[in-house]
Structure 1
Amino acid sequence: MTSPDAPPPDDNPRYRLDPRTIEMLVCPVTKTRLTLSADGSELISIVARYAFPIRKGVPLLVIDAARRIDEDEAEALRNRPASDN
């Protein structure tokens, strides 16, 4: 049993995805660049319109684990400043 004050497992610093790793990863469908979601929980392929989850610092780059994003969400990501990436 975990302590009520303990952070959820995905908030553990050792599970954070290294920004250099993100730069090397590409969408498994389109082979295009992936964008980190604002909350850091997903890698998003704007071109394919898929959001791939990150679990315990490991991106799950398989279609079965991904969720589809709609055009509005894709457009918001396209227009997001590059420094947020």
Structure 2
Amino acid sequence: MKRSLMDILCCPVCKGDLGLRVDAEDEMEILEGILHCAACDVDYPIHEGIPNLLPQTSR
């Protein structure tokens, strides 16, 4: 996932801002980490550079 996506990503449930925790990245993108919505208190994982923004009920 490119860091520049943080400017346009929002929580799919409440449309709130997402925080970012990076666990692994290379010079191009974030490979592993978590997007966190403080309003919903929900984590969305980033695995192999792909953020999973499906609401928890759909996972």
TM over 0.5: yes
Any unmatched runs of 5+ in structure 2?
A: 24-31
RMSD (Å), alpha carbons: 1.5
Paired residues, what number? Answer: 49
Q: Which has the higher contact order (CA 8 A, sep 6+)?
A: 2
- Where do 4+ consecutive residues of structure 1 move more than 3 Å? none
Structure number with the higher strand fraction is 2
Q: Distance between the aligned counterparts of 2:22 and 2:10, measured in 1?
A: 18
How far did residue 38 of structure 1 move?
4.7
Q: Which has the larger radius of gyration?
A: 1
Listed as ranges, the gaps of 5+ residues in structure 1 are 1-16, 66-85
- Residue identity over aligned pairs, in percent, reads 29
Equivalent runs, 1:1-85 vs 2, <5 Å: 17-39=1-23, 41-64=33-56, 65=59
Give the TM-score normalised by structure 1: 0.51
Q: Which has the higher helix share?
A: 1
